[in-house]
């Protein structure tokens, strides 16, 4: 399997916060959800991939190319969408094309026009007059117009209403349909990731907790609930983010470890959101 993105043993130390020897790969033709709480290290990792900040150690390859030595070649082939639109407020969408197209050899005006029409974006409209959802669509239109093979998205659905978020996810599904393009999608809105991602990388406090197939991650854990009499002291140590209350307990546990509990306990499927909540609670 070809990897479009390879992160190998990357470290970045800010004294008060550290990206701590992280590694993960994104296979070509798939969407990876990059999840974690705010401040977990998602944006810092993305900036390291884009060479916006320098790593202390490790290696990053994009399309098999070193992200520092081959930065220009790489950036010709990637599209980036942050949670805030980075175009000048007074620019029209014509101005956006004029400014951005000069940086890309593969810029295609007809593709830009196609997506402006598809997204109902008027060329004479100013950036400042676009809603948040329309700004996201504009950045996607720009990324598609220079034929980006990898989209790097940092919290793109944050602040969007549910309808706009769903439209955005549909755009990404269409984008990877030919299996030649890939997406890494950072978000703390785990319901979006759960809907669309093939792979998950979960970062917490600068460390990778899990990286692999989304279904494998979801199948690994479950929610366990029961009465006080249904759990032993040794079993308490097996539960992640254990919460004891007046009538019993609840928490997260690896499914394979749940088999030794009393038949009275309740086992439920865990969502991405629940897994993150319990793991963050455990880390506190």
**Based on the number of CB atoms within 10 Å of its own CB, is 27 exposed (0-12), middle (13-18) or buried (19 or more)?**
middle
Question: What pLDDT, on the 0 to 100 scale, is given for residue 157?
Answer: 82
Instruction: Specify the DSSP element, H or E, that contains 65.
Output: strand 65-66
**Cβ atoms 96, 129 nearer than 8 A:** no
Q: Whole-model pTM?
A: 0.89
Report d(CA 55, CA 10) in Å as an integer. Answer: 7
**Based on the number of CB atoms within 10 Å of its own CB, is 8 exposed (0-12), middle (13-18) or buried (19 or more)?**
middle
User: Residue written as tokens 């038949």?
Assistant: 263
Report d(CA 63, CA 44) in Å as an integer. Answer: 20
More confident residue, 127 or 15: 127
pLDDT confidence bin for 284, thresholds 50/70/90: low
Instruction: Specify the DSSP element, H or E, that contains 141.
Output: helix 132-145
Per-residue pLDDT reduced to its tens digit, 151-200: 999 988 877 888 888 988 998 999 999 999 999 999 888 889 999 999 99
Q: Quick one: tokens of 158?
A: 């944050």
Q: 10 Å Cβ neighbour count for 101?
A: 17
DSSP state letter for 128 = G
Q: Is the dihedral of CA 197, 34, 213, 276 positive or negative?
A: negative
Per-residue pLDDT reduced to its tens digit, 72-105: 999 999 999 888 888 999 999 999 999 999 999 9
- Provide the CB-side half-sphere exposure for 36 (13 A, CA): 24
For the chain, report the end-to-end CA distance as a whole number of angstroms.
37
113, pLDDT greater than 80: yes
SS3 13: strand
Pairing relation of β-strands 221-227 and 150-154? unpaired
Report d(CA 79, CA 141) in Å as an integer. Answer: 10
Report, as an integer, the average pLDDT of 50-64: 96
1, pLDDT greater than 80: no
DSSP state letter for 152 = E
Report, as an integer, the average pLDDT of 104-129: 94
50, pLDDT greater than 90: yes
């Amino acid at each position: 399997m070809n990897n479009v993105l390879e992160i190998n043993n990357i470290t970045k130390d800010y004294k008060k916060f550290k990206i701590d020897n992280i590694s993960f790969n994104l296979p070509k033709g798939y969407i990876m959800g990059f999840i974690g709480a705010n401040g977990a290290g998602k944006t810092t990792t993305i900036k390291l991939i884009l060479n916006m900040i320098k790593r202390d150690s490790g290696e990053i390859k994009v399309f098999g190319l070193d992200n520092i030595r081959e930065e220009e070649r790489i950036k010709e082939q990637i599209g980036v969408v942050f949670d805030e639109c980075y175009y000048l407020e007074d620019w029209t969408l014509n101005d956006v094309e004029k400014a951005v197209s000069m940086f890309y050899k593969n810029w295609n005006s007809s593709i830009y026009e196609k997506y402006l029409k598809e997204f109902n974006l008027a060329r004479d409209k100013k950036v400042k007059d676009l809603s948040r959802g329309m700004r996201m669509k504009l950045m996607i239109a720009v990324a598609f117009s220079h034929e980006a093979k990898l989209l790097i998205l940092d919290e793109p659905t944050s602040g969007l209403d549910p309808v706009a978020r769903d439209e955005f996810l549909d755009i990404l599904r269409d984008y990877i349909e030919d299996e030649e393009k890939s997406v890494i999608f950072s978000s703390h809105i785990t319901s979006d990731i759960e809907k669309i991602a093939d792979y998950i990388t979960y970062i917490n406090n600068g460390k990778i907790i899990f990286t692999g197939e989304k279904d494998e991650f979801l199948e690994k854990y479950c929610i366990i609930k029961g009465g006080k009499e249904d759990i032993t002291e040794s079993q308490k140590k097996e539960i992640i983010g254990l919460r004891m209350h007046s009538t019993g307990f609840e928490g997260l546990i690896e499914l394979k470890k749940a088999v030794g509990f009393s038949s009275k306990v309740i086992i439920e499927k865990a969502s991405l959101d629940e897994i993150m909540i319990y793991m963050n609670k455990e880390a506190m």
